Structure 1
Amino acid sequence: MRITGGTVRGHTLRGPRPEHRALRPTTDRVREAVFSILADKVIGANVLDLFAGTGSYGLEALSRGAGSVVFVDRDRKALEILSHNLLHCFPDAPARAFQLDLSRSSSLARLQAHLPADSPFDLVFLDPPYEKKLAERLLEMVEDSELIAGNATIIVEEKKNQLLPEKLNRLKLLDSRRYGETGIWMYVGY
């Protein structure tokens, strides 16, 4: 795994050990495609990386000019790898990591209590474990929270055969793509 663009392009990221099968880092190819689609939306953005794992989405965002990143994952080992990657690539980055179980309905409210109210997220990466039926529920939780800006962009990564809604209360599907077994859905606020 490596950073595919920006100021630390080419930096190698530490990934999970083979025995840690719960972690499924996003491939370089998929990440590069996602950031090509996002283009300038990343620059200066406040980014929320949910189910961050090793941090590849958030770290890529920092490399491409994001203003700040908040990483969230429940797995302690994943957060250790993420911390190593963050220190290796961006020792002074405006970034924070939280250990939270995002499958709990109260998790986003708990996260919100630790963040400034005047800094909503412009860009959210939502990459739950594949086929656990979490993506749609978490998408609705994010939409219902006060964590996102009105014009936020939300990227959902899930197995390609999952069905996600085209429209929610404040979000609409702008684009969806398939890369091998991976599906990417891009939602925007309206």
Structure 2
Amino acid sequence: MKTRPTTDKVKEAMFNIIGPYFAGGVALDLFAGSGGLSIEGVSRGMTAAYQVDRQYQAIKVIKDNNAVTKNPDKFKVLKMDAWRALEYFVKKGITFDYVFLDPPYKKQQIIAMLDEMVTKKLLNPGAVIVCETGLEADLPQDLPQFAGLRQAKYGITLVTVYQYKGAE
């Protein structure tokens, strides 16, 4: 009950904006829930995905969903808080080409997370960040070091896509 899976309509719209197919790249699904966004990304050509969630039940669902994909070895599942996960990636020297941010609607800290990813050098130049929020999140079109690619409403969901400009 604590997971709010992305609807198929919203997921399809997201991938129409950023894809629809990819020639590699590493993805971070930071509030993975069911793992659906990163699973879709890998099925469309992303090289690998790191799926992070702090809920035990969500981790179980993610692992079950990964197991039925054609390439379960392309996923690394981490049970931890999102902020701790960012520290983990710094220590491991892992950087990302795609980031899916779909935090619980009541606990959105997307701008702070993006700032932290930039500070910790976790984003490759040109990285694409897909944010799924409630309408009340009111994310800006452009952010320092990010270009706003697109923003679209789907019912109570707002999808905002940014591209990292790289270190300035």
Per the TM superposition, whether the score is higher than 0.5 is yes
Which residue matches 1:161?
A: 136
State how far apart, in whole Å, the 1-side matches of 2:146 and 2:103 are: 19
From the superposition, tell whether residues 168 and 138 of structure 1 become closer, same or farther in structure 2 (CA, over 3 Å): same
Question: How many residues end up aligned between the 2 structures?
Answer: 165
1:134 equivalent to 2:117? Answer: no
1:87 equivalent to 2:67? Answer: yes
Offset of residue 139 of structure 1: 2.4
Q: 1:37-48 maps to which residues of 2 (within 5 A)?
A: 37-39=17-19, 42-48=22-28
Offset of residue 91 of structure 1: 4.8
State how far apart, in whole Å, the 2-side matches of 1:58 and 1:40 are: 13
Which residue matches 2:38?
A: 58
SS of 2:133's partner is strand
Unaligned 5+ segments in structure 2 are none
TM-score, length basis structure 1: 0.80
TM-score, length basis structure 2: 0.89
- Asked if the contact 1:42–1:123 (Cα under 8 Å) also holds between the matched residues in 2, the reply is no
- Asked if the contact 1:171–1:189 (Cα under 8 Å) also holds between the matched residues in 2, the reply is yes
Q: 1:63-142 maps to which residues of 2 (within 5 A)?
A: 63-102=43-82, 104=83, 106-113=84-91, 115=92, 117=93, 120-142=95-117
State how far apart, in whole Å, the 1-side matches of 2:153 and 2:88 are: 33
Identity between Structure 1 and Structure 2 (%)? 32
> Any idea what the Cα deviations from partners look like across 1:68-101, whole Å, max 9, x if unmatched?
1111111111011000000111354321011111
- Asked if the contact 2:28–2:100 (Cα under 8 Å) also holds between the matched residues in 1, the reply is yes
Segment drifting more, 86-95 vs 169-178:
86-95
- Asked if the contact 2:29–2:101 (Cα under 8 Å) also holds between the matched residues in 1, the reply is yes
SS of 1:42's partner is coil
1:35 equivalent to 2:18? Answer: no
Amino acid at match of 1:71: Q
1:180 equivalent to 2:155? Answer: yes
SS of 1:89's partner is coil
SS of 1:161's partner is helix
Which residue matches 1:18?
A: none
State how far apart, in whole Å, the 2-side matches of 1:189 and 1:135 are: 14
